[in-house]
Homo-oligomer: A and B are copies of this chain.
Amino acid sequence: MQKKTINQKTEPHFTASDTVRDIIIGMSDGLTVPFALAAGLSGVVSSTTLIVIAGLSEIAAGSISMGLGGYLAGENDAEHYDSERKKEYEEIKHTPEKEKKEVVDVFKKYGLNEEQVSPIIKNFEKNPEMWLDFMMRNELSLERPDKKRARNSGLTIAASYLVAGFIPLSPYIFIHNSRSALLVSAITTLLALTIFGYIKAKLIGNNPWRSALRTILIGGIAAGAAYLIAKIIS
């Protein structure tokens, strides 16, 4: 789960990666888990009232939990970055010779020799902040997380889960026989997963049909497992 904020871009590379990713995370779980739960319960109870209650509880719990989880993950990243930056700062301050050698090592990978690196090191010595930026990215492979990222990420995931969750659940709200509702729910969810997988791949630039097939597969496996487990233990 590699994620970056893409900055300073001058070419038509894909930029919406983070938001799209959060929508994917929220929607794929929002489509499959409520569908699978409702399907599992359909094998056990004939009235849909309880399925709707369980489904709505799950959607509420799932969207809040995933949304807050996404928010905290974003905050963790920011804190992790800050703590690593602090360590690196101390290293530059207290063991500058070691850090200089590391700068040389980074540039050696790009084919420069020690002599060619020396003006860079001189510049870094004059600008410790710049040196720090360089080390964070090139030694530790860490990008500075966007401050608004955690909040946006949490809200996007929660909203996507909520919206997606109503797709498999709504048939149970309108149809009162659980077997008929399951059938409509399966068709609706299958359609939604196909469209979702297709659009997702189009946005990211991958093969859309392969993606649609994959998304259907996840939903199918998760729902099948839930259905079987409910059947076995009831």
Instruction: State which of B124, B206, B227 has its C-beta within 8 Å of the C-beta of A79.
Output: B206
A 111-156 contacts with B by CB, 8 A: 111-112, 116, 119-120, 123-124, 126-127, 130, 133-134, 137-143, 145, 149, 153
- Copies per complex? 2
Inter-subunit contact B60/A226 (CB<8 Å):
yes
Across the interface, which residues of B come within 8 angstroms of A180, CB to CB?
A: none
Using A2-B81, A56-B229 as known contacts, say yes or no to A127 and B139 having CB atoms under 8 A apart. Answer: no
Q: How large is the interface on A (under 10, 10 to 19, 20 to 34, 35 or more residues)?
A: 35 or more
- 1/0 per residue, CB under 8 A from B, across A34-60: the answer is 011100110011000110111011101
Inter-subunit contact B77/A2 (CB<8 Å):
yes
Distance from A153 Cβ to chain B, minimum over Cβ atoms (Å): 6
Inter-subunit contact A226/B58 (CB<8 Å):
yes
Inter-subunit contact A153/B1 (CB<8 Å):
yes
Instruction: State which of B5, B8, B58, B83 has its C-beta within 8 Å of the C-beta of A2.
Output: B5
